[in-house]
Amino acid sequence: MDLVDEIDRLKKEKNAVLLVHNYQRAEVQDVQDFLGDSLGLARKASETDADLIVFAGVDFMAEIAKILNPNKKVLITSKEACCPMAAMLSKEELLKAKEQHPSAKVILYVNSSAECKALADCCCTSANADKIVNAMDSDTILFGPDKNLVHYVQERSDKKIIPVPENGHCYVHNIIELPALEVAIERHPKATIIVHPECPADVQDRADYIASTSGMVKLVKELPGKEFIIGTEVGLIHRLQKENPEKKIFPAFENAICRQMKKTTLEDVYLTLKEERNEVQVPKDISEKAVKAINRMLELS
Ligand code: SF4
CATH number at residue 235: 3.40.50.10800
> Residue 46: pLDDT above 90?
no
Alpha helix locations (H) across 207-283?
Answer: 213-222, 235-243, 266-275
Asked whether residue 202 is assigned to any structural domain, the reply reads yes
> Residue 132: pLDDT above 90?
yes
Asked whether residue 106 is assigned to any structural domain, the reply reads yes
Asked whether residue 192 is assigned to any structural domain, the reply reads yes
Residues 155, 10, single domain; the answer is no
Average pLDDT estimate for 39-58: 92
Q: Which is nearest to 260 in space by CA: 55, 80, 8, 54?
A: 80
Arithmetic mean of pLDDT over the chain: 96
Total tally of structural domains belonging to the chain: 3
154 lines ligand 1 (CB under 6 A): no
> Residue 39: pLDDT above 90?
no
Q: Give pLDDT, residue 38.
A: 86
Residues 181, 141, single domain; the answer is no
Average pLDDT estimate for 46-70: 94
Residue whose CA is closest, atom 8 of ligand 1?
83
Say if residue 170 carries a ligand binding annotation: yes
85 lines ligand 1 (CB under 6 A): yes
Residues 164, 295, single domain; the answer is yes
Average pLDDT estimate for 274-301: 96
Residues 78, 108, single domain; the answer is no
pTM: 0.93
In terms of Cβ atoms closer than 10 Å to its own Cβ (0-12, 13-18, 19+), residue 23 is buried
Residues 115, 138, single domain; the answer is yes
Task: Please give the distance of CA 85 from its chain centroid, rounded to a whole number.
Answer: 11
261 lines ligand 1 (CB under 6 A): yes
Asked whether residue 256 is assigned to any structural domain, the reply reads no
> Residue 97: pLDDT above 90?
yes
> Residue 301: pLDDT above 90?
no
Average pLDDT estimate for 258-276: 98
Asked whether residue 10 is assigned to any structural domain, the reply reads yes
How far apart CA 70 and CA 52 sit, in angstroms, is: 12
Q: Give pLDDT, residue 42.
A: 87
Q: Which domain range does residue 200 map to? A: 176-251
Q: Give pLDDT, residue 283.
A: 97
Handedness of CA 192, 197, 199, 201 (dihedral sign): positive
Average pLDDT estimate for 286-290: 97
Q: In this structure, are residues 194 and 228 in contact, taking their beta carbons and an 8 Å threshold?
A: yes
